[in-house]
Chains A and B, each alone.
Chain A
Amino acid sequence: ETGVTQSPTHLIKTRGQQVTLRCSSQSGHNTVSWYQQALGQGPQFIFQYYREEENGRGNFPPRFSGLQFPNYSSELNVNALELDDSALYLCASSLGPDQPQHFGDGTRLSIL
């Protein structure tokens, strides 16, 4: 148990729809990072939030966006869903951007 919770655990959407995934960070953690993990691959960095500001972004298009709230929980939004967006979406929180990241159980997103 890492204390990082994600919701929902599973989600099925169709192409073109929009989705919001949620993450509650571990108590005391002010940094949240989001990753996309395709089957058989390692997690790919999407973006990181530190104290409510985006702190960096990976090679994902603008239709992937996020937020961090004053309690440091976070949301990942994906617009105009594509089939390739089917993956496990992982949220990781840490005490700061340079501290070890602790992952939630992920949200498995399937696009039909």
Chain B
Amino acid sequence: GQNIDQPTEMTATEGAIVQINCTYQTSGFNGLFWYQQHAGEAPTFLSYNVLDGLEEKGRFSSFLSRSKGYSYLLLKELQMKDSASYLCAVRDLTGFQKLVFGTGTRLLVSP
């Protein structure tokens, strides 16, 4: 089976750092993706981890531990425009490659 868990909602203030966690259980694993989705818009690709460790991309970093089935997305120097849903998705290697998404974490950044 496949199961991806993320917190439903988080709040933070402008300029702060926030960490959004994601745990997963899949029968096959070939990478974990983070997407940002503003209300009413399409998800936009943020990061991709396939090996353990930290991937840094500007203000955003993503970490993966395959043995723990765990990832996090770290957002630094938060800006108001970072208010959005953040979707964790695992690429399942069972038969063919598809993305399995969590329900998303809604982040609200306040002044």
| Chain A residues within CB distance 8 Å of chain B | 2, 4, 33, 35, 40-45, 48, 55-56, 58, 90, 92, 97-98, 100-106
Contacts and interface: CB of A to CB of B under 8 A. Distances in A.
Which secondary structure dominates chain B's binding surface?
strand
A35 B100 CA distance: 10
A42 B101 contact: yes
Contacts of A42: 4, 87, 89, 101-104
Given A56-B98, A98-B97, A100-B33, A41 B103 contact: yes
Nearest to A50: B96
A10 B96 CA distance: 31
Interface of B: 4, 30, 33, 35, 41-45, 48, 87, 89, 91, 95-104
Contact of A43 (B44, B87, B95): B87
A45 B100 CA distance: 7
A43 B33 CA distance: 13
Contact of A103 (B44, B98, B103): B44
B42 A33 contact: no
B98 A105 contact: no
